[in-house]
Structure 1
Amino acid sequence: MHLGGRRALDAVTVDIPRGEVTAVVGGDGAGKTSLLGALAGRVPIADGTATMPAKTDVGFQPSTSGVWRDLTVDENVEFVGSAYGMSSALLADRRERLLGPAGLGDVGGRLGGQLSGGMRQKLGFCLAMLHEPRILLLDEPSTGVDPVSRVELWRMVAEAAATGTAVLLSTTYLDEAERAHRVLVLEDGGVLGLGTPDEVIESVPGTIAAMPIRPRDSRSSRTWRRGNTFRVWDPDGQRENGEAPDLEDAVIALMLARDERRERSGEVRHG
């Protein structure tokens, strides 16, 4: 897929199983938003295919929350409901089922622009789920919200999957991705890893060790700081039974491994 003359996604293939949460992770420019936009029909695909149900069976929440700031909470709900041709009775039922548990049941008269960041993201989620879609696409729904709202958003995501909805969400938080059924790791529009969190971790070659100080004999490009410690990736290391990095370290190591492959092949990295 191309955007602005450059390839935004290259040979990215992902299934979105019903009843599961698939998390898409990667840095800025990795292709997360492009992927969700293409699947939602908002970004044209130059080549390849995206097999999706009808748009009426797809719910989409953009990174901007999808809430109209100059409309009240109730007006946002009514506007989206009318767009899907929902009856008044069905809309009232869905409003109660979604907004009540999200802590939005008593703020119907408040403008979307007057909501806190967390409340606005939760309302955007409710709007995307209002018509009971088969597939739910969420673009970084928890970015920039407070920790409590992050927990509540993930509860809502998990409940949506439990009802049989196929959920694909992008996130910058790898601790969130570890809760997903599957993880798609993107970098520069390409796939670095795909599978369960454990499968992605197991795909990292070698070992990752935690050190209290930066080791002098380590290769600097294979060392990074995390909190108060340093991580050292050894692609030739032999992992002991039960020894494995977490998803955050695994993703960093996969990125380093790709960079080294590019250096060996003389490939120039763009981005």
Structure 2
Amino acid sequence: MTPTPATSPQVPPGGWGAFGITVAFGATTALREVTLAAVPGQVAAVVGGDGAGKTTLLRTLVGRVAPAAGHVEAPATVECGFMPTGASGVWQDLTVAENISFVAAAHHLTGLALDRRRDELLGAAGLDEASDRLAGALSGGMRQKLAFCLAILHRPRLLVLDEPSTGVDPVSRVDLWRLISRAAAGGAAVVMATTYLDEAERASTCLVLNDGHALASGTPADVLAHVPGTITSGDAPAGPRELSWRRGRATRSWHPGPARPGEQPVTADMEDTVIALTLAAQQQESCT
């Protein structure tokens, strides 16, 4: 069974995005005809498992990877902000304030404008009391918030974030989402890869990737409306174990067709939908 993709979003004037891009590294094709819209004032979430192509797509958007086919619409590099995954977005042997000053110099931001911007960002991120601390001595959540501040310091028109909240504590994750929402409300087009599907449900649009293919895209409601097959819930797997997964104390099972007698169908949320889309794609691939 082939998953039915939602309608790819159309980019209005002034928007950015990747259109039908294919990216190859030698004999490996990392992305296959993928389209993603980046609209000012909105957050676009990119989800998928390891190796799905999320980081490659984000790096292509900001010009760090050249597509073999398709095209990218993006503002000039100086008008883009990029936050890489992990701790690579900060200089750990510099203090928080020195990190800000270093990046500000690259964007020719000085004087009173820099002071105001630094105070604004560090205050919003809860880092105003940590300006003299080495970035390497910060907690994971604080370091991620600093990396976000550096990415958005120059008020980019396109802000690209690679799993900004992965591995941080729950409070910092809430703080980061608030900062991301604030950036979008300020007019930036935000694209973020995330492993947290509740974040994808709060985004304006969502793109589901698997093995370089787009399985579904559109608003979260669009994606949820295109879950393939049937998902059931019970105390044990209903069918092959490789088509089942745990959700709390219950076990979800995916069926290519309708539920069997006695099985309890459930309304899929984003986590269930992404898993079902991935399982359907894997099943289709195994049959070809």
Q: Structure 1 length normalisation: TM-score? A: 0.91
Larger mean Cα displacement after TM superposition, 143-152 or 192-201: 192-201
* 1-structure distance, mates of 2:27, 2:117: 42
Decide whether the 8 Å contact of 1:59 with 1:128 is kept in 2.
yes
What letter matches 1:206 in structure 2?
Answer: G
Q: Tell whether 2:250 aligns with 1:223.
A: no
Q: Secondary structure at the match of 2:86?
A: coil
Measure how far apart 1:164 and its partner are.
Answer: 1.2
Given the alignment, which residue of 102, 106, 113 partners 1:90?
113
Within 5 Å, give how 1:1-271 maps onto structure 2: 1-65=23-87, 66-215=89-238, 218-237=239-258, 244-265=267-288
Decide whether the 8 Å contact of 1:208 with 1:231 is kept in 2.
yes
Decide whether the 8 Å contact of 1:202 with 1:244 is kept in 2.
no
Q: What's the C-alpha RMSD, in Å, of the aligned pairs? A: 1.6
* 2-structure distance, mates of 1:26, 1:206: 19
* 2-structure distance, mates of 1:76, 1:221: 46
Unaligned segments of structure 2, at least 5 residues: 1-22, 260-264
Measure how far apart 1:46 and its partner are.
Answer: 2.6
Q: Secondary structure at the match of 2:283?
A: helix
Name 1:268's counterpart in structure 2: none
Decide whether the 8 Å contact of 2:233 with 2:266 is kept in 1.
no
1:170-190 CA-partner distances (Å, limit 9, x unpaired): 011112211111111111111
Decide whether the 8 Å contact of 1:21 with 1:180 is kept in 2.
yes
Measure how far apart 1:204 and its partner are.
Answer: 1.2
Q: Structure 2 length normalisation: TM-score? A: 0.86
* Identity rate, percent: 53
Measure how far apart 1:196 and its partner are.
Answer: 1.3
* 2-structure distance, mates of 1:144, 1:46: 33
Decide whether the 8 Å contact of 1:201 with 1:244 is kept in 2.
no
Q: Secondary structure at the match of 1:34?
A: helix
Decide whether the 8 Å contact of 1:121 with 1:142 is kept in 2.
yes
